[in-house]
Amino acid sequence: MESMPRYRAGVHGGIHVIREYSGSVENRIVRISHAGSRNYTEMQKKLECYEYYKLKKNMYSEEIAKRRLSIPENFKFMRAPSDYNFKAWEQYEACSNPRAVTTEYYDDYGFNVRSRGEMMVGNALKELGLEAKYEPTIELRYGSKKNPDYSFPVRIIDRCFFIEFMGMTDDEGYMDGNYFKLDEYMRNGILLNRDLIVISGTKNWIPTQESLKRKIAFFINDAVMSAYEKYL
C-alpha cells in the first residue's frame, strides 16, 4: 500500500475531481481528473480499488493488533530463504522469451502480450500497484529455462512470484503441453499456490479483471500473513 498511488475525491472550482498522489512522496499530486473528462471514469475505478484495499489493509492491521502480533524491523529475514527473492527478480529480463509475440494486445505496463487474457492479468497487476515483468526467463535445474507469463515481487517478505495464464483449458492438446510445464515447475520447487498462481480460462470464457485482482490480492495477503503466522 505504501508504494501504491493514492486516490482522493474532492471539489475544485465547484467541479468534482479525483486526485492521484504519488505512492512514494507524501502529498505529491501526480494528476487531477475533473468530472466529465475523458479519464474520469477510469480514475473513479482506481479510487474504488484503492479504497477497497485500504479497507482490507485496515482489517488486517486490526486483526494483527487483536492477536497481539508485532512486525519486527528485520521481519523479512525471519522467513525461510528462497532462491526466488527480490534480488533474483531484479535480474530477470522482461520479454526475454525468444518466441516472437504476434498480437496487438498491450497491457498497462506497455508489454506486448500474446492474448487478451494475459493483457487482463497484466492490467490487474498494474491496478494493484505492483511491479511486474512479462515473460522473464528463469533458469531451472539441469539448464532448463521457463518463461512464466508474469513475475512480480513482494518486498516485505523478500519474495517474487509467478503467474501462468492458461486460456484454453478446454483444448486437450493445449493442456497436455501445460501439464508438462507445471510438472517441471513443481519439480524445481516452484509450487502451486505458494510460488505460482495459475489462472484458467477457456476459448469462450476468461475471468473478469476484478476477479483477477481479487485472486492476486488474496494470494499476496495469504503469503504475507502465512509468514507472520509462523511466529504466533
pLDDT of residue 60: 65
For residue range 92-120, what is the model confidence (pLDDT) as tens digits? 999 999 999 999 999 999 999 999 999 99
Note the pLDDT of residue 75: 47
Least confident stretch, 22-26, 75-79, 219-223:
75-79
Q: How many helices (H) and strands (E) does the chain have?
A: 5, 11
For 206-215, the pLDDT digits (tens) are 999 999 999 9
> Do 164 and 199 meet the contact criterion of CB atoms below 8 Å apart?
yes
CA distance 174 to 182: 13
Residue 134: the pLDDT is 98
* Mean pLDDT computed over 126-152: 93
What's the CA dihedral at 112, 22, 195, 151 to 10 degrees?
Answer: 20
| Cell numbers standing for residue 177 | 503441453
Rounded CA gap, 196 and 191, in Å? 6
Q: 54-93: per-residue pLDDT in tens?
A: 777 776 666 656 655 555 555 443 456 688 999 999 999 9
| pTM attached to this predicted model | 0.66
